[in-house]
């Protein structure tokens, strides 16, 4: 038993050390981003590059501060013995009501983590965006969105904790396997239902009504062999001036969504955007991402079973404090695997860019699109290498521009 506990201690220590190193390096790169790559000045003005770096700096710092606050609380709560004492207090106050104590313990952790992150979220998504002229959202509208997303998070988290504890107690030896299976099923359901159930709670969607765009979509669909049925426009302008598009859904809920702010772009650039999203469709990136998520889930749940052993061995019912340990594990695990997740995402974006070039045969429009997107969204035109490696889901604007120009030669 001592040897096993020692192995778990080493695992937890290693996980926290790696997360700490990544957090320090990310924070250092955010505060001291280093010199600007002179190559970006060929496409963007020095002032624009300077503004892009200044705009990106604060959200990066807030991201790491938020992670450190939540991780710090959970480490103190779990390893400082507070979780055990709080669990015992709840059990005593509820008359040893097991499920009542589990729920109240979850509620405590959820409230603390939510409140720790609230001021950072507010400053980043409301104050900072207004300061830079991106947000078009009123304060009441921001709070409405926040409460809706928080309520949804609470409901899903509450359901998750009840299911997890039911699985722990129902299959005390193989709970991790059933947990991984249920997690995989949830990923599939989420991919199918998110576009038609969750997204409409926050935005309105309508079919593209511009004949030039619908004709272009039809031509690209025939050329790519992608049976695009739904290209929708989202009312993003009621929140932001930023521009974006995305491909989402599985099966019959697959669709391409364009921000309404994108419709102001030249038609050949919109064509490049649609072709890029068709590239994700053609390459089955949502399906591949889901499969990889399921495989990663099996690995994560098996590691969790190992890491959880000092708190739960399968003998008796799982104590309420186990939830705090699970929260800490997934917070750290998702953080330290960020580089892997984002490397996969960047590769998918490169593949979609290549498909877009093949479909449009217009590298000049592709390059102009990347320049205009970077300008409109005020991206960091020359981000620090560590931040790209750790946190970028897309190649940098300069990397995409060079790839487009190279393909056009």
Binding-site residues for Zn(2+): 276, 280, 349
Is 277 known to be catalytic? yes
Distance from C-alpha of 27 to C-alpha of 23, rounded to nearest angstrom: 6
Q: What is the DSSP string of 313-336?
A: -SSSPPPTTHHHHHHHHHHHHHHH
User: Contact, 306 vs 8, CB < 8 A?
Assistant: yes
Give the closest residue to 163 by CA, choosing from 326, 274, 273.
326
Give the closest residue to 191 by CA, choosing from 342, 293, 296, 297.
293
Catalytic residue from among 269, 353, 362, 380 = 353
The CB density around residue 199, as the number of other CB atoms within 10 Å, is 18
Is 353 known to be catalytic? yes
Alpha helices in 171-314 (DSSP H): 175-193, 199-202, 211-224, 267-282, 285-307
User: Contact, 278 vs 219, CB < 8 A?
Assistant: no
Catalytic residue from among 269, 277, 362, 380 = 277
Q: Which residues line the annotated binding site?
A: 276, 280, 349
What count of Cα atoms within 13 Å lies in the side-chain half-sphere of residue 247?
Answer: 25
Indicate which residues carry an active-site annotation: 277, 353
């Amino acid at each position: 038993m001592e040897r096993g506990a020692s192995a778990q201690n080493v695992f937890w220590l290693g996980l926290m050390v790696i997360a700490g190193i990544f957090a320090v390096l990310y924070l250092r790169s955010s505060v001291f981003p280093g010199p600007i790559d002179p190559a970006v000045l060929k496409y963007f003005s020095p002032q624009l590059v300077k503004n892009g770096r200044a705009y990106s700096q604060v959200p990066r710092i807030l991201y790491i501060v938020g992670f450190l606050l939540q991780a710090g609380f959970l480490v103190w709560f779990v390893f400082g013995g507070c979780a055990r004492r709080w669990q015992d207090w709840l059990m005593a106050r509820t008359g040893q009501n097991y499920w009542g104590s589990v729920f109240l313990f979850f509620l405590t952790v959820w409230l603390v983590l939510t409140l720790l992150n609230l001021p950072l979220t507010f400053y980043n998504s409301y104050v900072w965006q207004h300061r830079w002229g991106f947000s078009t959202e009123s304060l009441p509208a921001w709070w409405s969105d926040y409460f809706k997303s928080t309520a949804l998070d609470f409901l899903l988290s509450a359901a998750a904790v009840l299911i997890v504890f039911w699985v722990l107690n129902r299959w005390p030896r193989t709970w991790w396997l059933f947990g991984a299976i249920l997690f995989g099923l949830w990923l599939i359901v989420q991919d199918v239902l998110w576009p038609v159930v969750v997204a409409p709670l926050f935005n309105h969607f309508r079919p593209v009504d511009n004949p030039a765009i619908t004709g272009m979509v039809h031509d690209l669909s025939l050329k790519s062999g992608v049976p695009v049925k739904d290209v929708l426009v989202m009312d993003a302008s009621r929140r932001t001036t930023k521009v974006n598009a995305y491909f989402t859904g599985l099966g019959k809920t697959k669709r391409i969504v364009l921000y309404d702010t994108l419709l102001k772009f030249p038609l050949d650039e919109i064509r490049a955007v649609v072709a890029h999203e068709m590239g994700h469709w053609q390459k089955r990136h949502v399906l591949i991402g889901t499969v990889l998520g399921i495989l990663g889930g099996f690995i994560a749940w098996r590691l969790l079973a190992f890491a959880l052993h000092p708190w739960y061995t399968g003998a008796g019912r799982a104590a309420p404090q186990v939830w705090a340990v699970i929260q800490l594990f997934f917070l750290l695990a998702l953080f330290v695997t960020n580089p892997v997740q984002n490397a996969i995402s960047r590769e998918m974006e490169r593949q979609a860019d290549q498909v877009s070039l093949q479909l449009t045969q217009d590298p000049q429009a592709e390059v102009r699109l990347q320049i205009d997107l970077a300008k409109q969204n005020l991206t960091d035109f020359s981000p620090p290498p560590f931040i790209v490696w750790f946190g970028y889901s897309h190649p940098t604007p300069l990397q995409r521009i060079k790839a487009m120009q190279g393909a056009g030669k």
